[in-house]
Chain A
Amino acid sequence: MTGGERVEDRALLGGRGRFIDDLPVPPRTLHAAILRSPHAHARLGRITAPEGVRLFAGPEIAAGLKPFIAALRTPMRHFPVATDKVRYVGEPVAVVLAEDRYRAEDALELVEVEYEPLPAVVSPSAAIAEGAPLLHEAAGTNLANRRRFSYGDPDGAFAAAAHRIAIEVRYPRSAVTPIECFGLIAAWDPDGDAFEVTAPFQGPFALHPVMAAALGVPANRLRLRTPPDSGGSFGIKQGLAPYIVLMAAVARLAGRPVKWIEDRLEHLTAAGSATNRETRLEAAVTDDGRVTALRYRQLEDCGAYIKAPEPATLYRMHGAMTGAYDIPNLEVENLIAVTNKTPTGLNRGFGGPQVYFPLERLMHRIADRLGLDRLEVLRRNLVKTMPYRTASGALYDSGDYGAVIDLARPALKELEARRAEARAGGRLYGVGLAAAVEPTVSNMGYITTVLEHEDRLAGGLKNGALAAATVAIDPHGGVTVTGDSIPQGQGHRTVLAEVVAGAFGLAPADIRVATEFDSARDAWSIAAGNYSCRFAPAVAGTAWRAASTLRDRLARLAAARLDLPLEDIRFEDGKVGAGPDREVPFARLAGLAHWSPGTLPQGVEPALRATEFWTPPELGPPDAEDRINGSAAYGFIFDVCGVEVDADTGRVRIDRYLTAHDAGRLLHRPMADGQVRGGLSNALGATLFEAFVYDEAGQPLAGTFADYPPPTACETPDPEILHLETPSPFTPLGAKGIGEGNAMSAPPCIANAVADALGVDDLELPLTPARVAALMP
């Protein structure tokens, strides 16, 4: 583990990356443009175009498809294109094909669509109110699901509580909006009745069988490949799944390969975002600030359709609803609404921001209401012994949360001094803090917590998080590695080369990592993909195990060859053996297995290719009491920040930001820090600037980067990053995830600081200057 320069960078810096829009296309490829609904809610009439326009209307496309399968079976059928109604602005209505994209867009303007507009519902509480217009008449309601959970004795704890302190939060929609938009190339092979698609899809590959089923083919007839490079995803490119089905279906209808590249307007209005959520959270609290119970009511807004893997956003955190705190009693009521907005999906932090914002804002409020020190209240409630089983079933694996907080104490002291000085000068200065537990490597069964246990049993209990990796050694001793994750900038090639080189005593430069994923050739299962920070803990660890399998095989070969006891064999500096004169070059040993398999000692397998699968045994299905361990490992973050609010404009400036992490063993420190900075800057955007706002008619108000403004270098602070490394006992290398935590901790940390600066209690994100100015004392 050297933390060395990235092998990815030379090509990217030279303009030699290979992103989806850079790849050659098959002969006779046509270019697609999508006609999208201008209405949030309307009945769809005739769709027509003049002769010569290659038009594929929604109903025609959907006739060859099956509705998407979802964990939650409802009568709310979802196709990748509108069939009878449109239910959000930007919903695909038809596809037009032409010789190039310019002509395809020309042709779009010739298509006529009849719409009968219907009243729209935009907020989830309006959607589930009596008499609201129905999105899906067949369901008879806009409430897709409602479940109540109780753990421990929340009623008893609330009855006995000295204080009941509550918070209400409307968490807005945002998304990290990668700079590369969606894109894909889809073709249909009539002879094999198979689809071939290339797209920077990021997983989870649980969606692969979902896509294949929608296309009406077995999964082995949907070959999905990814380009070598992907221009960022942050969860969002999970949303390629419906477009893969849409364009594959159109390619089949057209009998020609199809290429589609999404533009920014399409992306901002229709690609998908995190869910918005209305939450009421109440705590039962003792006089000294100990929280004895939490009671959540969460109303989730998934947009117009429950698009797979939703409602996963609501259930990812289910086992960890008590955050970093030892709270034995918990009640959760979850409601899922559909509204006339874009369907939601994965986004960095997935489900975490919507929970930690109310929870960490509430901890701040509890301290203030009781007149106690905010850090002291947080500390008093912390989980202190490991491993720790939460009330709702998560198994926190390791970590010393108090020790991480201690790392940040000096900064907190210094910020309090800055605040005193600023306030003495009449300036608005606040200090915020927040703690979060960051889940890593998702349990494929957590989503089934949305079902009643009997329904889970009927459907078969789901669990686990299978990761796969393959290591192969060629006749010259060259090592090739593949893993079931799809990089979007996380330097997978660099990390896997370092990990595998370590196993063989080789240099990272001796290892070649292939990251172009191919569902027809690579080892994978449904958990494959790049999400829930599974790369370092699961995929890199599984690659280590695959390398270890081959190392053990080579060690037996070397022991026989050199006549040494097996336990003396070491792998160092490209040699295998027990020191000078008693060693062979790694390459020669590898060559033996290839060139002389007949002469190997008995019991030594000649194959120098190993595929390993790994799933953490700690990940069981939800139990009969709805307890679920949603993730394999859990990191910890403690953030502190100081902000100054401009008294004239309401602009929030981050004065100092410090973030302390325990993400287990770090495989590559500079890239781990890069994940922290990136996650933090995304969170900064969601906290201060970005939101997908809709008007009352369901029209999205952000269609450009001018209306949806991600932070630039001028607004983004340079955080101080501290680490403790407590290895996870449950992952092969002791690593945990680190890329998502600040998406969870930073919004409440900054909001707590703004609340402190202004002396206000209620805040709604994003904290734009106009909104903050309105709160000014």
Chain B
Amino acid sequence: MPRMTVNGEAVEAAAEPRLLLSDFLRHTLGLTGTHVGCEHGVCGACTVSIDGRPARSCLALAVQCEGADIVTVEGLEEGPLHEAFRRHFALQCGFCTAGILMSLTAFLRETPRPTEQEVREVLSGHLCRCTGYTPIVAAALDAADA
């Protein structure tokens, strides 16, 4: 019965020891904004924030997160990054988007004035099949300017 904070709310729910954090968030808590794309840590779609740092929720167990502060895409405040994504058409199907928003939010907090190359390196932890990445890079740089 792990206890944690998810998007600012205290959460306590049953979880078998083998239950992935991604499945716990999606199916136990109903926070379906976090998506599962590969379950082996490559695609980055399931990225959430654990204690302030982006992490693959498909590579974490729910029970490991006892006491942790988790933020998912539903818990992100809508701000300049969201607006920049809309302005630049930085998503198409939107399936990889949640993970990218989580990574970029943490990245831009630590690197408020990034170079294009730095943005591309952060994005290289995420697979997007729709956009060719260019508009995502543009949105991140635009949001950093805002």
Contact = CB atoms under 8 A, between A and B. Distances in A.
Contacts of A10: 86
Interface stretch (B33-41, B49-57, B60-68, B107-115): B33-41
A411 to B, nearest CB: 17
Contact of A716 (B94, B98, B133): B133
A25 to B, nearest CB: 11
Given A15-B33, A21-B26, A230-B93, A179 B137 contact: no
A67 to B, nearest CB: 33
A9 interface: yes
A72 to B, nearest CB: 31
Interface in A675-733: 677-678, 680-682, 704-706, 710, 712-714, 716, 718-719
Nearest to B116: A718
A17 B86 contact: no
Contacts of A719: 132, 134
A489 B129 CA distance: 10
Q: Which of A9, A263, A710 has the most CB of B within 10 A?
A: A9
Given A22-B32, A179-B96, A712-B124, A15 B72 contact: yes
A180 B32 contact: no
Contact of B131 (A230, A234, A488, A678): A678
Interface string A208-230: 00000000000000000000011
A159 interface: no
A719 B134 CA distance: 9
Nearest to B58: A264
A386 interface: no
Given A14-B78, A15-B98, A179 B33 contact: no
B97 interface: yes
Interface in A163-210: 176-181
A681 B98 CA distance: 20
B131 A674 contact: yes
A340 to B, nearest CB: 26
A179 B85 contact: no
A740 B122 CA distance: 28
Given A13-B101, A180-B35, A489-B92, A712 B127 contact: yes
A126 B26 CA distance: 47
A155 interface: no
Interface residues of B, number: 53
A115 interface: no
A718 B123 CA distance: 14
A674 B135 contact: yes
Contacts of B121: 713-714
B129 A678 contact: yes
A21 B129 contact: no
Nearest to A13: B82
B62 to A, nearest CB: 12
The secondary structure that dominates the A interface is loop
Nearest to B94: A12
Given A21-B36, A713-B120, A13 B97 contact: yes
A263 B91 CA distance: 23
A705 B127 contact: yes
Contacts of A488: 93
A388 interface: no
Nearest to B87: A5
Contact of A15 (B38, B73, B91, B128): B73
Given A13-B101, A180-B37, A705-B43, A491 B92 contact: yes
Given A14-B78, A15-B31, A714 B97 contact: no
Given A13-B101, A21-B36, A264-B39, A178 B93 contact: yes
Interface in A645-686: 670-671, 673-674, 677-678, 680-682
A727 to B, nearest CB: 24
Interface string A738-750: 0000000000000
A464 interface: no
Contacts of A9: 85-86, 91, 94
A678 B34 CA distance: 23
Contact of A180 (B33, B74, B95, B126): B95
A705 B38 contact: yes
Nearest to A11: B94
A8 interface: yes
Interface string A489-511: 11100000000000000000000
A474 to B, nearest CB: 28
Contacts of A21: 26, 32, 36
B122 to A, nearest CB: 8
A316 to B, nearest CB: 21
Interface in B17-43: 18-19, 26, 31-40, 42-43
A231 interface: yes
A413 interface: no
Given A179-B128, A677-B135, A704 B95 contact: no
Contacts of A5: 86-87
Contacts of B124: 712-714
B16 interface: yes
A154 interface: no
A124 B40 CA distance: 32
A488 B38 CA distance: 18
B68 to A, nearest CB: 19
| A-B pairs with lowest CB-CB distance, top 9 | A15-B33, A489-B93, A231-B95, A12-B94, A677-B132, A489-B92, A15-B73, A681-B132, A713-B123
9 contacts: A6-B86, A9-B91, A489-B93, A677-B132, A682-B129, A704-B38, A706-B40, A714-B120, A719-B134
Given A21-B26, A704-B38, 20 more contacts: A9-B85, A9-B91, A15-B31, A15-B32, A15-B73, A15-B74, A19-B35, A21-B36, A22-B26, A179-B43, A231-B37, A231-B95, A264-B40, A489-B95, A491-B92, A670-B89, A677-B132, A712-B123, A713-B137, A714-B120
